[in-house]
Structure 1
Amino acid sequence: MSQLLLPGDLIKGNETSDEEISAGPGVYCDPVTQELVATHAGIEVVTETKKGHAVYVNYNSRRYIPAVGDLVVGVITGSFGDSYRVSLSNFSNPVSLSFMAFPNASKKNRPTLKVGDLCYARVCSAYKELEAEIECMDSTKGQDAGFGLLDGGMIVETTLAYARELLFNESYPLLNILGKLVEFEVAIGVNGIVWIKTDEVKTTLACYRAILACQDIPPNQFDKTIKQIFNDTLKSSD
């Protein structure tokens, strides 16, 4: 049953199960007590993962505000000193990506990213008074975890709530339906940017159109809509 949460409300899901529960957007995990606390007003959503459960707050917001642990898709806009400047959303402050925030990076072995390149990263530092920082690895586990340069493909700009559904709700049918039609790579950022890539431009375009269209329709219409989009796109490109 869905539960309405207000900022400061305790999320009791972590008290009823011994399974690992990971905190998503809108949820803060107290480092001392390990209690989960809502940071935004919205609907509590708990989804099953391979390791346990994930919980996040589904709230309506048009502006993305970085939070530690967020997975994001960013655009390189320049470099300054020993870090890249990265844009996570339009009309917002850029964030910093250190040259050392990559797997196996060193002073002699630095990544080479250009202005306009896309990267998949994790927010590792976010304070109101300071510039947020991201990393192309999971420093908490010492793994690359699929982060880094996103080469080719297309990006879809979505609402923040839709991006959270795609990333955290494993029962959300969109990606499963796409997977039955074409093999693809995907990177989903909670900043409302989805990167998608297939072996061919026309199927990548079909995936782009499908993701965009399904944002405004209920899940029970996904299958019919996606198949129609693929048929129309592939026919028009022949």
Structure 2
Amino acid sequence: MIQGQQVEELGIVLPGDKIEHPDLESNWDSICVGPGLSCKNGAVNATRAGRLKMSSKNKKYIFYVDSHCKRYIPQAGEFVIGVITRRLGYNYLIDIGASGFVTITDLIFENYSKKNIQHLYLGDLIYGQLFATKNYREPEFVPLDIPKVSVGIAPLPRDGIMFHVPLHVARLLIDPSITLLETIGKKTDFTLVVGYNGRVWLHSEDMNDVVTIMNNVMMLEIFSPQELRKKLSCS
């Protein structure tokens, strides 16, 4: 989810339900159909059960179904944390928790040369975004800079820890309207990187804070963000 977007919940849908909304009729040119929906012959239908949501920014609208899934399904535009599993020549094979792997190559990076390249190793964590490719191929993985954490092809620092959360919890952490992390940040300093694929990278100087933050994040499986924020504010 991009900063500045506003998210509106439109109700519960089941597979096969036809999606009807005024914006789907009047603003079709500015509509994007996201995960959990399919468009055929001008009609939009749900392909899985969940909460139908609409995010809007600059008069552009994205409709998608927010549902609980055990396995991550890659979607173009989403940010993920990958694990380096193998090097093949100039390419790296990356596990993003989906049914297949994605690859990156040394040659896509600006000013690439054998002198300035920083090699990635088995088990390294790398943060990036998925981009759509032609011919219905799997999305392409492109590493991104994280200010004060990693730049370009550099992996996430090894002094942090990665843990897994359910996919719907990851979406809550990324949602700009959820201020839970801001509440936690008032009590301790930490760096958190969240991927839509349910992987979270966390760094803090105090290991006690690391454990506390992990526990607070995992509590989103049980409590709503509003309930959890109240509990943290009172503690």
Using structure 1 for the length normalisation, give the TM-score.
0.70
Where does residue 155 of structure 1 map in the other structure? 162
Other-structure match for 1:170: 176
1:119-145 CA distances to partner (integer Å, 9 max, x unpaired)? 1111124689856531114xxxxxx47
Q: 1:172, 1:181 → 2: CA distance?
A: 17
Aligned to 1:222: 228
| 1:120-135 superposed matches below 5 A | 120-125=127-132, 132-135=139-142
* Residue 50 to residue 131, structure 1, CA distance change in 2 (3 Å): closer
2:202 matches 1:196: yes
d(CA) in 2 for partners of 1:190, 1:40: 18
Q: Greater shift after overlay, 35-44 or 155-164? A: 35-44
Amino acid at match of 1:121: G
Q: Over aligned residues, Cα RMSD in angstroms?
A: 3.9
Taking a change above 3 Å as real, the CA distance of residues 128 and 66 of structure 1, as seen in their structure-2 partners, is: farther
2:13 is aligned with 1:4:
yes
Equivalent residue of 1:69, what SS? coil
In structure 2, the CA distance between the partners of 1:73 and 1:36, relative to structure 1 (3 Å rule), is: farther
Q: Aligned partners of 1:201, 1:21: CA distance in 2, in Å? A: 45
Partners of 1:66 and 1:126 within 8 A in 2 = no
Question: What is the Cα deviation at residue 211 of structure 1?
Answer: 0.8
**Once the 2 structures are TM-superposed, how far is the Cα of residue 66 of structure 1 from its aligned partner?**
1.3
For 1:70-149, what aligned pairs fall within 5 Å after superposition? 70-89=78-97, 92-102=99-109, 104-108=110-114, 109-125=116-132, 132-137=139-144, 144=145, 149=155
Extract unaligned runs of 5+ from structure 2: 1-9
Tell me if 1:185 matches 2:210.
no
Identical positions, percent: 27
Distance 1:208 1:128, change over 3 A: farther
TM-score by length of 2: 0.71
Q: Secondary structure at the match of 1:75?
A: strand
Aligned-residue offset at 1:155: 1.7
Letter in structure 1 aligned against 2:221: Q
- Distance in 2 of aligned mates of 1:154 and 1:21: 38
Q: How does 1:206-217 map to 2 (within 5 A)?
A: 206-217=212-223
Structure 1 residues 148-157 or 48-57, which shifts more? 48-57
Structure 1 stretches lacking a partner, 5+ long: 138-143, 232-238
Count of residue pairs brought into register by the alignment? 217
Matched, 1:65 2:76: no
